[in-house]
Chains A and B, each alone.
Chain A
Amino acid sequence: MSNSRQYWQSVEQLDNNEEFAAKNSDEFSEELPLDQFLEKQELSDSSTTRRDFLKFVGFSVTAATLAACETPVMKSIPYVIKPEEVTAGVANYYASAYYDGFDFAPILIKTREGRPIHIEGNKKYSMTQGGVNTRVNSSLLGLYDAARVRNPRIKGEDAKWSKVDKAVKASLGSAKKVRILSNSIISPSTQAAIDVFASKLGSEESPVDFKHVTYDESSSSGIVTANKNTFGKAVVPHYLFRKANIIVSFGADFLSTWLNSSQYATGYGMHRSPEEGKMSRHYQFEANFSLTGTNADIRGAVKPNEIGLAVIDLYNAVAKATGNASVKGGKLDDDNDVANKINSAAKDLVANKGKSLVVSGSNDVATQELVNGINQMIGSYGKTINIDTPLNIRKANDVDFMDLVKEMKSGSVDTLFVYGVNPVYSAPASLDFAGALAKVETSVSFSGVADETGSVTTILAPDNHYFENWNDFIPVDGAAFIAQPVIRPLFSKSKTQQGTRQAQESILRFVKVKTSFYDFMRENWNTTILPLQKDYSTFDELWNNTVHDGFIHYTPAPVAQTLEAIIPTSASASASAVVKNSKATGIVAELYTETNMGIGNQANNPWLQELPNVITKVTWDNYVAMNPADCRENGYNTNYGQHLPASLVNVTVGGSTVKLPVISTPGQRVGTVSISLGYGRTKAGKVVEQGDMLAADGVTKTVGANLFGAVSTKGGNFNYYVDNVIIELAEEKEYPIGLAQTHFTEMDRKIVNETSLSTFIKGKNVYNPDPTVVDAYGITQKVEKLDLWAAQDIANGHRWGMTIDLSKCIGCNACVTSCHAENNVPVVGKDEVRRNRIMSWLRVDRYFSSDMSMTDPGETGKIAMYKQMEAPSVYPEAVHQPVMCQQCNHAPCETVCPVAATTHSNEGLNQMTYNRCIGTRYCANNCPYKVRRFNWFNYVGDSKFTDVNPAVNDLARMVLNPDVVVRARGVMEKCSFCVQRIQSGKLDAKKEGRPVADGEVVSACSSVCPTSAIQFGDLNDSETKVKEVSEDERSYHLLEEVGTQPNVFYLTKVRNIDGERIPVGLGHGTHGDHEDHAEEAHGEDAHASESDSHSEEHAGH
């Protein structure tokens, strides 16, 4: 067919005669009727009058102004080709795992449109049951950390990866001594990569001296060495708290920071409810009041240096009962009946042989040897302690690190790689790691930010965030976890930046292995894991299912079994070492890792910085924790918070002096102090620069002070207590402190209903009576029966509710950070915290017990009684209580809002309509629980929050949950029961045409709770767990007598102690302590007076 087809517009064009051609040469073939238009008489005559002109100008200006006023519209670009798994508005969950050398947790990462926005626990893994702690939970924000470096650096200057590779290869080519310094590697593939690296170094003629040195910033080297001495195995054993009826802990904060705490917390929580008499009993002996200590049934305060002596006492008591030889102990300085508590513990341990567990957080080898001895005598090995499949976390030996520093100092180390640790910050000052590092010719840090170490190494080869990496972990032999990337590296190679690169890949590249770590890992799994498991026959099946599930169980290769029941022969030697080591002079300071900040690797995370300390509720600082008795004696301020400053002191620990505020911490062993590690970071990012403290250089502002330097290296292990501490009032005298809760005690009110196990057995009417009212006719009725209000229609459809088991709740704060991430809760900074304006929708209240009680005020007058009640005991008990919006069915907030911005839903939710809110704050005033939070400022726009609130920073904004609006200035907000999750759960069920199943809708707080203390679900569905728990005899409403009829139920806390503990009326109090075997009659009296006071109260209304 011919290709010369022509198209024509008209016959003229086809003809193409002259006339047409002439006409067509112009753009417009016909003349425009311009004249006609211009000649129009009216138009040419028209003249714009001044009035008209002004009208037009006015209109244009107004129009332009109005247009300018419009909210800027930001258009998002839709996918041209939508990835199969991404549906706008629908979240995807990926199984992964977290490990940072301190914590391990199997997790589930929630992504929306490709952005990770929330971390939950992997519920499939039975050892944690979906629990994650607050540090793991908050690590999400690290992905969007503006401090992450986007280019590798050579000598501090941005460089290309190729240059970095060249430089490292050159260094390796000539190096004689190469060292890798890392935290405990629990990743088999990373270990394999390091092995490959080692194998490729040097050559036949010039061998390279290579060593992989493990260094844990929070060391448990004492346990490793003790086990080596006792069993010949240098391991950290695998502790099974879930199997322990009796738990005795000597300074091990196993619920929050000790070893594999996430798993311990879950196991511990399983036996903390008293139902069916299966409740465990927990003894804690420690110096500082730890989170674990607050949960203990019986706690003894012991000086940190005398923990070993307490262990000896227990050893002897157990030895006596089991017919073993006792050892020679020392004299314990006992001011709170520790001796009796130890005896009681010994009795319980012996009675529960094989079902008990003794642990110690001490890093002293001899102490740990004795602990091993006790565990042997009570038959823990093989039952509650598994030494044959040890824990791979924190298994480093401190001596290795000390030796490395020595080598470095001598200048013999040519090339050093630092992975996963920050020794310039965290190494004891006595070792002078920074000085030693300067002598290493080529040092490479894989840190993702230019931290204290990464900024002084010659090369910084930034690692990806763990969300961007493939990785695998075996924390305990028997289960292998895969961490999968959930987002493309945020800082990948582009025109403007070099991007980050996974450290394992860098390690392989440095020795010219070009495979990606993904392929390397697959290959490794193919050869190692595949043969050990039986579930899958092909590798692809194994891989795909493991990536999907996040982990796989396998049968580890058999190891030599440890002989059981070797009664220690060296116990006497250990004991004499302990006694020798326990000598200390002056004030002893314990250096501990704190629940929120841990080892400080997430210091640039404002969520964690603003998270109140679990005991003292201090935010944005570390401090000297001192018993109030000591504070008063030394004249330090015990009444601080908001505008009242704390006392500022100079603390001289191990030769160096830091400035820190003194926080009065009841329960701290008198005569000792505790200071948390993990603070005082200087090079973590903008957030730590917000601090009020000055770093050692006197210029850099930091949050808190770094005490890692003060850790002593006495005896070849890092020692986390120091004696001869000098504390003097600093010249400034005062320091502003941000406290999230300024009041210590419960004031004998029924806020946390608490009882003892022996009282619990007597029945609900004794420990948890329903509040009653005497009505106008003199008839005693339950509170909920008498009501002025029309009932809310909540009997039909869903009625969302929550139960919180205070017996299980360990107060770990995980729910708080989970809520922050889920609901875009703003961070407000220390200054605003000091003004009592922390924005958390969910707070964990902490109350200490007081010596003064309403039932037993003695001769004290009422005014003095209340005053004394405000002060906690020297060694109090403590309780935690998560409080969020109680979603009252008769909500006081709803009636008072003039514009009906807060209303009740027909599903029992007390909902908040931000658009309608005008911010009168009446609702907040009228809330008996004070859970409403007002947007005092524009937290996104106001310059005051630039460096603290993630929502201000463009990068960190990506963490915001798109399902939850960022609230405007001037509106009230509060817990919504995660209404967005409820809606999405309902939608899913609706799409599938079925009712919402139990467990399908889970609030953010409930989803991460390690002990399953928080249950969420539909109260109108008789099948749900929440319904079952809410009908438990222990359940009560907070402030039930106010008549708010909440949808949140609390379950009475039960302590496993002997003796009566009867909650007394409105002011239930903890009358007497647990040793006080109150008489039956006394209890009944108290009960009677309680119902009296109820009647009177309501008659008074």
Chain B
Amino acid sequence: MVKEAEVREPLILGKDVTYHSITEDVCRPIEGKAGKLWWLLFSVAVVLAIWGTGMILYTIGRGIGVWGLNNTIDWAWDITNFVWWVGIGHAGTLISAVLLLFRQKWRMAINRSAEAMTIFAVIMAALFPGIHMGRIWLAYFVFPIPNQFGSLWVNFNSPLLWDVFAISTYFSVSFVFWYIGLIPDFATIRDRAKGPIAKKVYSMLSFGWTGNAMAWIRFEEVSLVLAGLATPLVFSVHSIVSMDFATSVIPGWHTTIFPPYFVAGAVFSGFAMVQTLLLVIRKVLHYEKYITIQHIEMMNRIITVTGSIVGVAYLSELFISWYSGVEYEGYAFLNRATGPYWWAYFIMMTANVVSPQLFWFKKLRTSLTFSFFLSIIVNIGMWFERFVIIVTSLHRDYIPSNWSMFHPTFVDIGIYLGTIGIFFTLFLGFTRFFPVLALNELKSILKSSGEAYRGKDTGH
């Protein structure tokens, strides 16, 4: 076994952690009863989910007019939320795929929940292009399926169509990747399950996993292949989402910097969301041993790096808008910063560029409370980034007679909160029925990186 260097911080804390205790710790929430805090959070999430669903049905029943959109601003909260959720959905696959390829062992404590978050976030994201359609009942028109109209085909020039492919591919690969990883853990739960229903369900979910050496070899191989497949997708999805804007003619959208800038932003917001969720899980499920300060710090470092990339992108945009000498472009960015939506721009700048810089201080980046607070701030900031890009570019574009303002309605707000509700309903369900930590993978690093085994091997 490869041994970690002594100077490295152990990734699994606690002198008493054994292979068995990992299993016990991971299975406890699944096998035991939920605590009061879980129920409280779950109730809130379900209420929001129901409210949001109601708002969605209301929109479908009455028309998009119940939102605050208008002739000038034809996208606002819908696509803001869409991009926001897609962005959040980036972290999971990045953590599991990219970090797997780079053999970063610290990913093992966080990849499972991060991937789950990805899946749920992408589902939330995929909801918006659907419900923002004027005629959702004809949504199947966007798929290149044979139809009775003869040669009528989708428009392959349209970035929206690229979105359809990008997101469905990303979702499928992420889901498979996540699920493959779950199989050995489901098998463990199956083996321990006492109830007949649980046994049956987990048997089915674990696909008859035996845990023999051959199975493990294949498991490793598939994981590696999928990681290879998923890695480019991490970069492609948000690049393509950014092209919804970049390929248009609207000043403030028509920007070549968008693909890398959006990917960086997505990783930034995704890690922030992972951070938020991890800190909650760590606290609620008492996973301090597995999700250590070191993990949190690593995450914070990535947040700082990506946040800085985003900051550079913001500044480049401003510079280019001035340097280009294009009247409309120059005005679009000046208007962002100083126009009627200056406050949104200010929130974006503060939350995304200034706040992550605080993580240069070790004290702050190792503080759980501060990390939690900042992760929320970053998520707010990234929501405003998308809002700023979409709404402030549209609200004052080429012809001043069209200039307009956007005012959200209760339906806009309801649907947004609703998706947060649905997301957390799913995620909290996940914490009750799924192994939140990749227990079998964790076991693989227990000896090399676990505090409990450190002393034994060196003999001191």
By a beta-carbon cutoff of 8 Å, the part of chain A in contact with chain B is 642-643, 741-743, 745-747, 749, 751, 832, 835-838, 843, 845-847, 862-863, 866-867, 881, 883, 892, 895-900, 916-922, 924-926, 928-930, 932-938, 942, 968-972, 1038-1039, 1042, 1044, 1065-1067, 1092-1093, 1096-1097, 1099-1101
Contact = CB atoms under 8 A, between A and B. Distances in A.
B405 A747 contact: no
Count chain B CB atoms within 10 A of each CB in A742, A845, A1038, A1099 and give the residue with the most.
A742
Contact of A917 (B135, B136, B328, B402): B135
Nearest to B129: A920
A741 B251 CA distance: 21
B283 interface: no
Contact of B400 (A642, A749, A924): A749
A1096 B134 contact: no
B133 A837 contact: no
A1044 B250 CA distance: 12
Given A937-B65, A942-B62, A1097-B326, A928 B70 contact: no
Given A835-B70, A920-B132, A898 B155 contact: yes
B342 to A, nearest CB: 10
B219 to A, nearest CB: 39
Contacts of A751: 399-401
Contacts of B399: 749, 751, 845, 883, 928-930, 1038-1039
Nearest to A921: B74
Nearest to B340: A639
B401 A971 contact: no
Contact of A863 (B75, B153, B334): B334
Nearest to B157: A895
A642 B320 CA distance: 33
A932 B129 CA distance: 20
Contacts of B244: 922
A747 B325 contact: no
Contacts of B202: none
Contacts of A969: 63, 134-135
Nearest to B63: A937
A899 B154 contact: yes
Contacts of B247: 895-896
A896 B160 contact: yes
B63 A899 contact: no
28 contacts: A743-B401, A836-B72, A837-B70, A847-B400, A862-B334, A866-B338, A896-B248, A898-B160, A899-B141, A900-B153, A900-B155, A917-B134, A917-B135, A925-B75, A926-B248, A926-B249, A930-B397, A932-B71, A936-B63, A936-B64, A936-B65, A937-B65, A942-B62, A970-B64, A1092-B325, A1100-B320, A1100-B329, A1101-B324
Contact of B139 (A881, A897, A918, A933): A918
Contacts of B248: 892, 896, 925-926
B398 A918 contact: no
A930 B141 contact: no
A244 B100 CA distance: 85
Nearest to B140: A918
A247 to B, nearest CB: 28
A285 B402 CA distance: 31
A697 to B, nearest CB: 33
Q: Which of B62, B75, B327 has the most A CB atoms < 10 Å from its CB?
A: B327
Contact of A847 (B141, B327, B335, B401): B401
A643 B249 contact: no
Contact of A835 (B68, B152, B329): B68
A24 B355 CA distance: 105
B404 A836 contact: yes
Interface in B104-140: 129, 132-136, 138-139
A897 B155 contact: yes
A1044 B160 CA distance: 21
A751 B401 CA distance: 10
B215 interface: no
B407 interface: yes
A206 to B, nearest CB: 67
B285 interface: no
Nearest to A740: B401
Contacts of B154: 898-900
Interface in B317-337: 320, 323-329, 331, 334-335
Interface string B8-37: 000000000000000000000000000000
A685 B261 CA distance: 57
Contacts of B75: 921-922, 925
B158 A895 contact: yes
A934 B64 contact: yes
B452 to A, nearest CB: 55
A949 to B, nearest CB: 13
B370 interface: no
Contacts of A935: 63, 134
A131 to B, nearest CB: 24
B173 to A, nearest CB: 22
Contact of B141 (A837, A845, A916): A916
Contacts of B325: 1092-1093, 1096-1097, 1100
Given A935-B134, A1042-B249, A1100-B329, A898 B142 contact: yes
A867 B396 CA distance: 13
B161 A1096 contact: no
A747 B331 contact: yes
B404 A742 contact: yes
* Shortest beta-carbon contacts, A-B, top 5: A919-B134, A970-B134, A1100-B324, A936-B65, A1096-B325
A377 to B, nearest CB: 43
Contacts of B164: 898
Given A970-B64, A970-B133, A934 B74 contact: yes
Interface in B383-422: 394, 397-405, 407
A903 to B, nearest CB: 9
A1038 B328 CA distance: 14
A146 B460 CA distance: 99
A922 B327 contact: no
A1065 B328 CA distance: 12
Given A835-B70, A896-B247, A926-B248, A921 B134 contact: yes
A920 B75 CA distance: 9
B87 interface: no
Nearest to A1039: B398
Given A742-B404, A918-B133, A1101-B326, 19 more contacts: A642-B405, A643-B405, A742-B403, A749-B328, A837-B71, A896-B159, A897-B158, A898-B160, A917-B135, A918-B136, A918-B139, A919-B134, A928-B399, A937-B62, A942-B63, A969-B134, A1039-B398, A1066-B328, A1092-B325
A848 to B, nearest CB: 11
A916 B152 contact: yes
A866 B400 CA distance: 12
Nearest to A881: B401
B69 interface: yes
